[in-house]
Amino acid sequence: MTEQTVLVRNKLGIHVRPAERIAQTANRFLSKIGLKNGECRVNAKSILGILALEAGLGTEITIAADGPDERDAAAAIAALFEAGFGEELGET
């Protein structure tokens, strides 16, 4: 199990497009990948799950990947958050 904590940096938070990119990326890996926002845990391969996180700017999210490619998976998803999904960044 690989865990990594990231911050939502894009101004609009995790709306449909970022969710779409997370799910697309997660689906490329074999590992099970979860996202956690406090008590809320969701499947990172599910766009609807991700939307249910209701993660706005500045939210702390924990990525938990478990499986054969868990390190790469967590890193790939963390990189998306880090880059703010290519959107305008807000102040956190």
Partner 1 sequence: MKGRSSAGRRKARKGQVQMRGLPVSPGIAVGEVFVLDARDLDIEEVRIAPEEIEREEKRLLEAIAETRDEVLKIRTRYRSIVGEDLVRVFDAQILLLEDEAVLDAALAEIREERRSAAAAAHHAFARAIETLTRTENEYLRDRAEDVKDVRRRLLHHLHGGRRRSFAHIDKNVILVADDLTPSETVQLPRSKVKGFATRQGGRTSHTAIMARSLQIPAVVGVEEILEEAEHRDRIIVDGSEGIVVLRPEADLLRGARSRQRRYMEVSRERLRLRDLPSVTRDGVEIRLFANVDVPEEVPLAIENRARGIGLFRTEFLYFRDVEIAREEAQTTVYRKILRRVSPDPVVFRTLDVGGDKVLDPLSAPMEPNPMLGWRGIRISLELRDLFRVQVRSLLRASTVGNLSILLPMISTLDEVLEAKRLIADAREEVRLEGVRLPEKIRVGAMIETPGAVFLAPHIAREVDFFSIGTNDLIQYSLAVDRDNVKVAHLFDPFHPAVSAMVKLVLDAARDAEIPVSICGEMAGEPLCAILLIGLGARELSVHPYLILELKRIFSLMETGEARALAEEALRMPSAGRVREAVEQFLHDLEVRGEREKG
**Which residues in this chain contact partner 1 in the complex, by CB under 8 A?**
12-13, 15-17, 20, 23-24, 27, 42-43, 45-49, 51-52, 54, 56
Per-residue tokens: 76: 């790939």
In one-letter notation, the amino acid at residue 76 is A
- Report the residue number, 12 or 75, with the smaller CB distance to partner 1: 12
Query: Which residue out of 15, 51, 62, 69 is catalytically annotated?
Result: 15
Choice between 3 and 54, CB closer to partner 1:
54
- Please compute, for residue 39, the number of CA atoms within 13 A of its CA located in the half-sphere on the CB side: 0
Give residues with Cβ within 8 angstroms of 61, minimum separation 6. Answer: 5, 6, 7, 8, 35, 36, 37, 53, 55, 81
15 included as an active-site residue = yes
Q: What is the dihedral of CA 80, 43, 35, 75, to 10 degrees?
A: -40
Nearer Cβ to partner 1 (41/71): 41
**Catalytic residue numbers, as ranges:** 15
